[in-house]
Homo-oligomer: A and B are copies of this chain.
């Protein structure tokens, strides 16, 4: 016997996938159909579509971070661990079908910083910046907070490049991050 996903889980998983592929404007009918859940059930489980947007993004958070961040205590230097994020980004983009960072896309599409989905996007993006800051401090960077913000900017700019140009990054994110690590005194 396999464990069946609950209607709530099916809705959130379908929403995470559909909103990434089609944008947050994908309709409730399409979403419910994909999840195999009635609209009535959806509105019993969630107050609004806005809540579905926010919770589906939050649900994607851990796997999205796992996709990009190195394992704890993997024995590599902080510099290598920070560059790992950009190497992973390069690979994800090269796999094709890349439609941008789901956090940035959600914020851009919602166009409302107070929307619960934008709040989740901001929190999850901050987790990436926090990772960089902690590693930058461990590496003895001159200004870990600044470096972490700069690396986040490079990550999001490389992501935008991949979408706008619709081609692989070919290491430009890694190269750019490395230049900023050098500038911050984080030696190779």
Interface residues of chain A, those whose CB is within 8 Å of chain B, are 21-23, 25, 99-101, 103-105, 107-109, 111, 113, 118, 121-122, 125, 146, 149-150, 152-161, 163-166, 172-173, 175-176, 179-180, 182-183
Contact = CB atoms under 8 A, between A and B. Distances in A.
A179 B176 contact: no
A149 B172 CA distance: 8
Contact of A154 (B23, B154, B163, B182): B154
A160 B154 CA distance: 10
Contact of A172 (B153, B159, B172): B153
Q: How many copies does the complex hold?
A: 2
30 contacts: A22-B111, A99-B108, A99-B111, A100-B108, A101-B160, A103-B164, A104-B163, A107-B160, A107-B163, A107-B164, A108-B163, A118-B166, A146-B172, A149-B161, A150-B172, A150-B176, A150-B179, A152-B157, A153-B154, A153-B172, A153-B173, A153-B176, A154-B157, A154-B176, A157-B157, A157-B160, A179-B179, A179-B180, A180-B180, A182-B183
Contacts of A99: 108, 111
B25 A160 contact: no
A184 to B, nearest CB: 8
A111 B179 contact: no
B109 A164 contact: no
Contact of A152 (B22, B105, B118, B161): B161
Contacts of A150: 172, 175-176, 179
A136 to B, nearest CB: 14
